[in-house]
Structure formats: C-alpha cells, structure tokens
Chain A
Amino acid sequence: MSELKPWLKLIFARPGRLLAGGLLLLAALLSGLGLLSLSGWFITETALVGILLAAGLPATINLYVPGSGIRFFAVSRTVSRYFERLYNHDTVLRLLTDIRVALFRKLAAAGRNQRHELSGAQWLSRLTNDVDALDTLYLRLIAPAALAALVTLLLFGLSALLFDLWIATLIAIILVAAFLVATLAVYLQTATLASRQSDQQEALRTAVIEHLEGFAEITAAGRTGQHGDWLLGQASEASAEQVKADSRMGWYQAGSHLLINLSAVFALWAGFELFHSGAISGPVLVLLPIALLGLAEVYGMLPEAFGKLGATRASAARLNRDCRNPDPGNNASTVVSLPEPLALSVHDLTIKHSDNAPLFTDFNLQVKVGERVGILGQSGSGKSSLADVFTGLLAPTQGAVSARPCAYLTQETVLFEDTLRANLLLGAPDASDAELWRTLEVVDLAERFSTEPDQLDTWLGSSGSRLSGGEARRVALARVLINPAPVLILDEPFTGVDATTRARIARQIDALLEGRTVISLAHGPEALPGTDRIIQVGG
C-alpha cells in the first residue's frame, strides 16, 4: 500500500473535515439502525403488554419515550443523510483541488525527460483517470470502511450489554468474517484483475489509435474487416476480465450479506436461551437481530470500493512514477562560469536517448553575445534535443553546457486555453498592452487581432484551436520575443508560416533583437531567420 502513502497524507491533511464528515455519516447510519431496532423493540413490547391488558391483567407501558425516539430517528436519519452528502461532497471537491495542485507541483518538479516520454493525448487521458481514482478514495473507501468497523464495534458492545459477552464474541466473529469478505477478500480476489485492467485498456487504446491512423492504408489493403475483428476481440477480452471482476465482487457482496443475516439468525437463536432463562425480555430479544440486519446497508458500499482498490493502487503507482524526481548526477553537465563575450558555450557534448545510438558525440559550440547562429539538420538528426540541452530541459549524457538565461521556442507550439493576453504575458508577466501590441506587430499579427472584438482578450480556445497553425506558431513566437532573456533559442520558428510572411517577420525580428543572441534551428536554410553563420548537424 506504500504507493498510496503520499496521497493519503494529502487526504489526511484535513483531519477536522474528515472527522466531521465521518461523524455525520455515522449519525445517518446509526439513525437508520436505531429507527428499525427501536421500532422492533416497541412492537414486541406493545404486543406483550397488549396480551396482558386483553387478559385483564394490570400492565403499564411508557409510550412517550419510544414513540418520540422513533420520531427522532426518522427525522435524524433524513437530516443527517442530507447534510452528510452535502458536507462530504464539499470535502471531495476540496480534496480534488488539493490533489490536482499537489500533482501539478510534483510534475513541475519532476524531470522533463520522463514526462516527455509520456507526453501526448494518451498520457493525459490516463492522468485524468488516475487522478479521478484518488479523488474519491476517501468518500468511497476510507470513510465507509472505517465507519463499518466502528458500527460493528458498537454492535459488539450492544450485544455484550444486552445479551452476554460470550454471545457478543460469537456475533463479533461472524461480523468480522463478513467485514473481511466485503473488504480484504474482495480486494485480494480482484486486485490483479483490476490492476491489469488499466494496462489492458491502455494497450487497447494504442491499438485503436493505430488502427485509425492507418485506416487509409488498411482500407487500401482491404483489411479493415479483419483488423477490426481483431480489435473487437481485444475489446471483448478486456470486458470479459471486467465481467469476471464484477461477478466476483457480486458474489463476495452476497457472501458478506449472507454472513450478516446469519449473525442475526444466530443472535435470535442464542437470545432464546437467555429469554427462556429470563435473563432478557422479549423486546430486547427482537432488538438485536433487527439491528444486525441493518448492518447490510453499512457494509453494502464496501465490496465495490475494495474491488476497485487494486486499480486505485495502480493509479497511484503510475502517478508516483510520473512524478519521480530526475535521476541526480547522471553525468550531468558541470556548469562552468561563462567568460564575458560568450552567450553560450558547449564543450565535448554527448547526447544519447537511453539505449539508442548517441545523437551527438564531442559536440562543441561557442556563441558570442549578439551573434546570430543557425543550426541546420535533417528530421531525426537531434536538433531539438540539442536545443533542449542548451536550455537545460535535457541533461546531456556527457559534457558541459553553460549559457546565459534563454528564452526558448520549442518545436511544438504550446498555447493555453486562455486569452491572447494571458498567453503572451507568460513570456513577460509585467508587459504593458503597448509592448504586447508592438510584439504582435513584429510577428505580423497586430492587424489580425486588432480587428477582433475582444482584441487582446480574444479567447484562443483549447490549444489555440481558434487560430490557424501558422497563427498559433506566431503567437508562440511573440511570447518568446517579448521575454527579456539575453539569449533566444528558436526551434523551427516558422512552421506553417508562408514564405512572404516569413521573410517579413525575419526582417522585423532582426530589428527587434538588436544586440541579443539568437540561435535558430531548422531543417533548411529557408526556414531560418537572419544568421551570421550556419552550422550543419547530423548526417
């Protein structure tokens, strides 16, 4: 369970709230038990008194206390249930915030390298599912299990008080068995299935995406039918496993319910002995079995929650893995102080991705302040890795890198689901509107946005979906240009931008960046802004 530890710590950072929610839940459960068992007691008592009265014998009964008790429980069950739900949903939403913020901070602290391996839509959708699994850990699993144990303990005390300790112990043994069947047994029987399920799901998703990406080729080869059948087969296998897990869960739930019922039967049987010996009254004999029957509701939520615990643990383990800190001292670069005229210095650099052949060995480069350097390389030559190393995103396998602060335009265009202003301000949080407009002018977008009704507050949509590819690229470029860092690293700055616009922007950048150092990377010379010298890498 160690994988859950960091998340449990987060959840238990609100002990007061969890306790209050738990007490409300307890009140609701006890009101339900109280209502039924008190009613059972009352009916038996009245039946016995009624027989005496009918026989003309003197008998008295206090109607006021049980009557008002029944009314109280009826109301308190409703009220406590309502407030319990409201309060605990509030808690869940708070935990959701806590967990997301903590996760975000952890991911930010984690090395970019492992995140990079995982990036992409699939990883993101997996991340959502994993976080969701943890969000409900408290309300689904922790609170119900703790309360079920507590209520069981209370019933043990009640049996010992009303019947005797020996009977109470036997009842408790049956109840503990029921509890274990509903929790531990379900967990043990479904853990492997549940943790395998998400891997299976992942593999299935990869297969479906591949099928769709290759749909044209597969259609052309006349094999959509066969390949589709294969996919359906994979999906069926996954859901067959789920059926297995579900029905195991169902059987254990039924088993736990059976044990609860048997405990009530036993209580009734054992109670008769005491009743005949005069140790307990008829009404008390009825009260305990009915209270025990009510436990079914208390235990009812457990099997499903524990059936999912295996998957929750797997989720937590994956999140922990995603957040692990970068391996320290992996032949990492030794930062040497940068002599005055240099903006960037790279010495005997080796870059290598895990077991693949190194992309670069003994790579050396020195860039002076104010210099414009272009780096050309074919696709797959490792240009972007080189830029990542310059900016410290990627640790080199060997060698030393030292650079003045850099602003880096990554090859991938990243825009946030926010306004144009918010996206640009990331580059320079204190920039004035005038500065923003001036930078937009440089990338030839000022006219485009000045005609928008919301101007700088134009909503860019998810990942800048309301812009064309070239426009999005230029917004990202503007964000880097507005950053005051002395060195700019631009990886394929003009993706999706047509030749005329490209030439115009390149000229304007030259003027804007007077005196600053620019290192630009591209697949061909036409995709570079102005340069003083060009370096060819790879092949």
Chain B
Amino acid sequence: MTAPVPDQRSVRRWLSGLTRGNRHWIQGTVVAGTLAGVATIVQMGFLAKIVHLGVVEKEPASGLVPLFIGLIVAVIFRALAQGVQTHLAARCSEQVRHTARNQIHQHWRKSGPVILGQDSAGSLAREWIDHVDALHGYFARFLPQMVLSLIVPLLILILVFYLDWLAGIFLLLSAPLIPIFMALVGMGAEKLNQQHFEIISRLSGQFLDKVRGLTTLQLFGQTENAATVIQQRSDQYRRITLKTLRVAFLSSAVLEFFASVAIAVIAIYIGFGLLGYISYGPSPDLTLFSGLLILLLAPEFFQPLRTLSQHYHDRAEALGAGAEILARLSEESPRRPTRAACSQNGTQRTTNTIKLDAVSLAFRPEHSVLNKVSLDIAKGDIVALTGPSGGGKSTLLHLLAGFLVPDSGSIRIFGNPPGAAPFGWLGQGRFFVQGTWADNLRLTSPGVSDAVIEQALRIVGLGPLLDSRNEGIYSKVSEGGQGLSGGQARRLSLARIFVADYDLILLDEPTAGLDRESERIVLEALRELTRRGKTLIYSTHHQSLLALAKRHLVVRDGEVNDV
C-alpha cells in the first residue's frame, strides 16, 4: 500500500516546508551561534593582546587588568550565547515535530479507518513517534550549523586578511575547498550512514526475529544454535561494514588533514615572518599579537565545518525518516469529505431513510465490488447483509459509514452525507484502551454518568467481571497482564454503543469468532437495541442473527437484492 519512495529533493522540500512557521527559531539559533563565534574572536583578540603586551612590551601585570576583565567578559558572553543556542535549537525542533505530527494526524483523518487499517497500528505509530523524533537532530543541529559553518569562517577570514593578507590567503586557499570538503564529507558520511543504518537495522531485524520466536526455539531445543547463528551473521556483517568504513572515513580524514596542515603552515609562516626571514608582502609587519591571533583563529576557522561533519548523520537520519513519512503523506487518500465539509453542504432536509442512489465502487478497474446499487432503508429497520466473503458486504458497510467514498452515485443517511452525524460502529477487531472501564466508554461518549456506564456493561454481560474487581467501573480493564478475551473485548465495544444514543448502528460480523456464551449475549444486546428503535445494519453468517433481522439483503456480484 505504500506509495513509491519519494526522491531526496521532495523530501528536502518537505523538510524545509516544516520550518515555514518556525523560521524565527532557526534564525534565533543562528544568531546565537554567530554571537558565540564573535565572542570567540574577541576572546582570542584579548588573549593575543595580553600576551603581546606582557611578553614583548614587558607591561606589568597591573596594567593588563582591564584587558583581563575584557577577556573574562568575552568568555562569559561566549558561554551565554552557546547556552542560548542549544536552548533555541531544542525549541525549534520541538515546534517542527509538533507541526509534522499534526500533518500526519490530519492525513490519518483524511484517509479514514479502512485505508489506515491496511497497515499495522504498530508501524503507523512508529512513523508518528519515532520517525518524527528522528527529525530532531536535523533541525536542532544540522540546519543551523550549516549556516554557521559559512558565517563564522567568513568573519574569521575577514579579520585574518586585515591582520596579514598572506596568512589570509592560506586560509582562503582552503576556503574554495570548503564546499568540496562539504561534498566529500557529505558523500562519505551519507554512504557511511546508509550502510551503517542498513546493516544495523538488518542485524536488529534478525535478532528480533529470533527473540520473537524464542519460545518456539526453546520448544525444539534450538536456542543455542540460534545464538550461534546470530553471532556468525553479526560477525559477517561487521567485516563487510568495516570495508566500507575504511573508505568512508577517508573523507573526514581529508578535512582533518587540511585543518591540521593549514594550522601547521600558518604557524611556520608566522614564525619565519616574525624572525624576519620573509621580506615579502605583509610579513615584516607581523607582531606577536597579530601572529598569535591568526594562529588562535585558525582552528576556529575549521571548527564549524568539523562540527557540521559530526552532525551529518542527523541529516541522513532525517532524510531517511522524512522519506517514509512523506511516502505516507503522499498516499492517495480517498476523496473522503471531512466532517466540516459535510456540515457545509448538509443543508438537506432531515429525512427518515437511508438512500443509496446508483452507487458504484471498484478497487480494481475491471472488477467492481458494487455496481450501480440503489437502495432505501427505513429508519428503525433491522437489516442483515449476507453473501459470499469478498462479495462486498464490508464494503457496503464502509460506504454507509463514510469510511470509503463511492466512485459514483450518492449516499444519504437520513438526508445527510455518511459520517456527518455520529453513529455506532462495531468492527471485527478488538479495541480497548489501557485504563478503567469508565475510560473506555467515555472515550467515545464523554460525559455519560457512572450509572449509565455500569448499566451498559451489565447489558453486554460484563457484570460478573465488573463485580470481581474491587473498584467497579473504575478498575482497570486489564489487570495482571491478562487483558480481555476476544469475546469480552467485542462486548466492551458493544457497551460503547449502548452508552451513546446513536440512530444508526453498523456492525461487521458482530458474532464472528465468538464462543457460544458471548454470541448469546451479543444477540440479546442487539435485540435490546432494536427495542430502542435503532436502525441496525449488520453483515453476518449466523442463523440467529438472520432471525433477528426484519430485512435480509444479499450482497453478491456487485448487486444488492432483497431475499
């Protein structure tokens, strides 16, 4: 069901789109980082000046006090700017992640339960939590650092040119190399990260696969063999990984090499200049102050780039996670009207019928599930849908629920589009939340009284279970890690319908897979709902449920017919 993997350009576009409302956080981070850079330059200036005055001019210590105070102020200011930088960076990432989560959730609502149900809840949750968190480093570290690695070296370069243009040229020579460095580091780091992540995730996958099946391995007495297999495969991967690392680390070694050599060259040039061995250009004007300052600034010139290369994996991680999120977001969602849109065109008169008019739906072009189905169901009717599996019973229910939208034709539920008003839904899956019985029922109907909740739970036969718990409806649904059986979970869902006052209740195979006791209770509860005058539409294979129905529809070969 996943859409084709989006290319890197569109992922980057999506990532930068996320910053749109949060640009001031990034700008703030960059400003704080720049201020820290300026403070560093000032700090080194004071340091060099103090050394020059003290060592060359033999200034007494007392005369240096103002300079020392200036130095301390610069150092403190630098620390403050650094602190503010990390704080703003963290806030920026927080905002961005909130935006991304909101986008994904909007997409979920647009897709609806049927489309969402095609992926496991676990993997969707992973996207919403882990993948979004994987964007953190990109926004908090990489993005601001990318700007800083241009601004700070540029400031230093200007100052060094002012002090000694020849030394400036040494740095400048490496400056055009900076984009090359970045590309090199980038390519290396990217390849490294890809390889590394791939290997690590494959290893984790195999490890987890074995852990998942540990009981089975134990039953066959094969745990020791499995441990050996894990060890061998890990070792094999390690050898492969190291081969690529040997190359991948070279790119950062190049950066390291240039930085080291530039410092060495500058140190030796300045030394010879100070000795008066170089009579060319600005060298004769070098002093201990200017020479030392240039030396102290040289590592700071390369530091932002080195930091950037350390943060490169943040970028790779964000691109990887972003690609998966974007693939999800660009999945074609059915043209499902949002509830807001429904209420806008919900000006129709309220009627007492559910009306399907020439409704068609096909999942594949050549195979239509429903073909021009027209149908009227009166309010208060009890309709059983039967037919072969795959014949379209569930699809019809999904259409009535508004979870799917027909290719053509129209559906009106008591005059409104499907899903415009709340209704009862009982699917085949089990659904309850960790929490109390009351939490579970108030999830869909907040504000119902304790008495109503207790009554509903008794109607669905959960009374004895409730009585065995100490705190009644305020005891936890699953205690002692026991959970609920399939039948109990189904009945809990049914209780949710009882506490609400829905006109329409749709049920997909309400008794499938239940034991006889649960089946009997569910049937009795449905009978109670019919006594309350609710409209019930359900698919079923069970004779007892057919007997309950006032109307029996067969869904087969794209048609819906009364029996």
Residue of B nearest to A53 (CB): B276
**With known contacts A122-B122, A220-B425, A414-B216, A213–B431 Cβ distance under 8 A:** yes
Say which one of B177-185, B360-368, B415-423 lies at the interface with A: B415-423
Give the number of residues in B that approach A within 8 Å (Cβ atoms).
150
* Consensus secondary structure, chain B interface: helix
- Say if the beta carbon of B335 comes within 8 Å of chain A: no
A-B pairs under 8 A by CB, number: 411
Residue of B nearest to A524 (CB): B515
A216 touches B276 (CB 8 A): no
Q: B227 contacts which chain A residues (CB < 8 A)?
A: 101, 104-105, 108
Q: Which of B79, B223, B430 has most A Cβ within 10 Å?
A: B79
**With known contacts A61-B275, A96-B234, A42–B267 Cβ distance under 8 A:** yes
In chain B, residues 467-521, which have Cβ atoms closer than 8 Å to a Cβ of chain A? 468, 479-482, 484-488, 493, 496, 500, 506, 513-518
Q: A48 contacts which chain B residues (CB < 8 A)?
A: 55-56, 288
A46 touches B216 (CB 8 A): no
A414 touches B86 (CB 8 A): no
In chain B, residues 200-240, which have Cβ atoms closer than 8 Å to a Cβ of chain A? 200, 203-220, 222-223, 225-227, 230-231, 234-235, 237-238
**With known contacts A272-B61, A414-B213, A417-B206, A43–B444 Cβ distance under 8 A:** no
A378 touches B276 (CB 8 A): no
Residue of B nearest to A47 (CB): B288
A268 touches B125 (CB 8 A): no
Q: B222 contacts which chain A residues (CB < 8 A)?
A: 426, 429
Q: How far is the CA of A414 from the CA of B550 in the complex (A)?
A: 44
Say which one of A2-10, A252-260, A447-455, A507-515 lies at the interface with B: A252-260
A539 touches B272 (CB 8 A): no
- Say if the beta carbon of B78 comes within 8 Å of chain A: yes
- Say if the beta carbon of B38 comes within 8 Å of chain A: no
Q: A379 contacts which chain B residues (CB < 8 A)?
A: 485-487, 513-515, 518
**With known contacts A217-B431, A221-B500, A426-B222, A36–B250 Cβ distance under 8 A:** no
**With known contacts A46-B272, A82-B253, A82-B256, A208–B128 Cβ distance under 8 A:** yes
- Say if the beta carbon of A247 comes within 8 Å of chain B: yes
Residue of B nearest to A282 (CB): B55
**With known contacts A242-B90, A250-B82, A100–B207 Cβ distance under 8 A:** yes
A265 touches B75 (CB 8 A): yes
A222 touches B422 (CB 8 A): yes
Q: Which of B85, B217, B423, B487 contacts A380 (CB 8 A)?
A: B487
B245 touches A86 (CB 8 A): yes
**With known contacts A77-B256, A218-B443, A219-B112, A416–B213 Cβ distance under 8 A:** yes
B129 touches A35 (CB 8 A): no
**With known contacts A47-B274, A50-B276, A216–B425 Cβ distance under 8 A:** yes
- Say if the beta carbon of B3 comes within 8 Å of chain A: no
**With known contacts A228-B109, A250-B90, A221–B218 Cβ distance under 8 A:** no
22 examples of A-B residue contacts, CB within 8 angstroms:
A43-B292, A61-B275, A78-B257, A81-B253, A104-B223, A210-B432, A212-B124, A214-B433, A220-B401, A221-B500, A222-B421, A223-B422, A227-B443, A232-B105, A239-B97, A246-B86, A254-B80, A257-B78, A268-B68, A381-B515, A462-B209, A523-B515
What are the 5 closest A-B residue pairs judged by CB atoms, nearest first?
A250-B86, A380-B485, A378-B515, A220-B425, A39-B267
Instruction: Identify 14 new A-B residue pairs, CB closer than 8 A, beyond the known A216-B403, A220-B444.
Output: A35-B260, A39-B267, A43-B292, A112-B215, A112-B218, A132-B204, A205-B125, A219-B401, A220-B425, A222-B419, A246-B87, A268-B68, A285-B54, A290-B296
